[in-house]
Amino acid sequence: MLNKPRILVIEDESGIADTIQYVLATDGFAPVWCATAQQALQEFAAEPPALAILDVGLPDLNGFELFKRLHALPGGASVPMLFLTARSDEIDRVVGLELGADDYIAKPFSPRELVARVRGILRRTVRAPSAGPQESAPAATQSVFMLDEERRQIRFYGRALELSRYEYGILRLLVQKPGRVYTRDELLTKVWDDDAASFDRTVDAHIKTLRAKLKAVAPNAEPIRTSRGSGYALAEDLPPS
């Protein structure tokens, strides 16, 4: 029998935590409840879960800061994370997405919807690359970007980038067709799958973090260009390494 996916539930309200644990367990998951950020860090370090659900309003540490600390732990960058919060302002959602979270759901929420979001995230995480013929980037771009599909890794001027799933998906798409402008809707459809649950700012937030990571490698380069009113494209005139 296959092991059940272990889900870390980081939520200080016991009533909400009980509900989440019940629906997850009923749906074939193995939930582990942590009422504090400190407990979550210990559980995560002992055994990284298949996915983590983080409440933003924890008693001992802000959920956004906890996300950063979990992400920095060994194996943390590969664990999908979903924010759970009582705050529904768009700015809070954008902050979570800019950090690299995989999804965001506001209280009050439907327990069944939460489980559906968890299943959707895990399905996208374990999905293998498409079996169709792979498109190759032009040689000039290949000298700047190196795409390794098997490792789900992209190198920029020889340096491996630490990318979230969605950052990898966006950059992979752009690298394969330099100069081709992808609209926000296209990126949502091709990278997120469940694009109806996302919004334009989701793409913008991930493009912002991608640019920051690329700039850290090559401060004077501008690999991702904005086509005003249209979308984003990879520059075709980057100097070779």
- C-alpha distances in angstroms, 135 versus 74, 130, 172, 175? 33, 11, 11, 10
Can you read off the two tokens belonging to residue 192? 């997120």
- Residue at which a domain ends, from 126, 155, 179: 126
The CATH code of the domain that includes 59 is: 3.40.50.2300
- Residue at which a domain ends, from 93, 126, 159: 126
Is 144 found in the same domain as 59?
A: no
- Whether residue 185 is contained in a domain is answered as yes
Is 28 found in the same domain as 122?
A: yes
Query: CA-to-CA distance for 205 and 191, rounded, in angstroms?
Result: 14
- Whether residue 133 is contained in a domain is answered as no
Quote the pLDDT of residue 98: 65
- Whether residue 227 is contained in a domain is answered as yes
| Angle, vertex CA 167, rays to CA 182 and CA 75, nearest 5 | 165
Is 91 found in the same domain as 30?
A: yes
Q: Rounded to a whole number, what is the distance in angstroms from the first to the last CA of the chain? A: 49
Give the domain extent around 230: 139-234
Quote the pLDDT of residue 105: 84
Quote the pLDDT of residue 30: 93
Question: Is pLDDT of 241 > 50?
Answer: yes
- Whether residue 56 is contained in a domain is answered as yes
Query: CA-to-CA distance for 103 and 84, rounded, in angstroms?
Result: 9
Question: Is pLDDT of 238 > 70?
Answer: yes
Is 12 found in the same domain as 101?
A: yes
- Whether residue 84 is contained in a domain is answered as yes
Positive or negative CA dihedral for 101, 105, 106, 108?
A: negative
If one counts every other C-beta atom within 10 angstroms of the C-beta of residue 145, the result is 23
- Whether residue 18 is contained in a domain is answered as yes
Select the more confidently predicted residue: 121 or 51. Answer: 51
Q: Decide: pTM greater than 0.75.
A: no
Quote the pLDDT of residue 133: 42
Select the more confidently predicted residue: 105 or 53. Answer: 53
The percentage of residues in the chain with a pLDDT greater than 90, rounded to a whole number, is 29
Is 65 found in the same domain as 11?
A: yes
Quote the pLDDT of residue 88: 56
In the chain, the number of structural domains is 2
- To the nearest whole number, what is the mean pLDDT of the chain? 81
The CATH code of the domain that includes 199 is: 1.10.10.10
Q: Assign 171 a pLDDT band (cuts: 50, 70, 90).
A: very high
Question: Is pLDDT of 33 > 80?
Answer: yes
- Residue at which a domain ends, from 70, 93, 126: 126
For the residues 158-162, what does the mean pLDDT come to? Answer: 87
Is 13 found in the same domain as 106?
A: yes
Question: Is pLDDT of 125 > 90?
Answer: no
Is 122 found in the same domain as 168?
A: no
Question: Is pLDDT of 89 > 60?
Answer: no
Query: CA-to-CA distance for 119 and 105, rounded, in angstroms?
Result: 14
Q: What is the pLDDT of residues 176-217, one digit of tens each?
A: 888 888 888 888 888 876 645 556 678 888 899 999 999 999
- Whether residue 164 is contained in a domain is answered as yes
Quote the pLDDT of residue 126: 55
- Whether residue 239 is contained in a domain is answered as no
Is 191 found in the same domain as 161?
A: yes
Is 84 found in the same domain as 13?
A: yes
Quote the pLDDT of residue 177: 86
Greatest mean pLDDT range, 88-97, 116-125, 126-135, 201-210: 201-210
Closest CA relative to residue 135, chosen from 169, 175, 176, 168: 176
Greatest mean pLDDT range, 15-24, 129-138, 181-190: 15-24
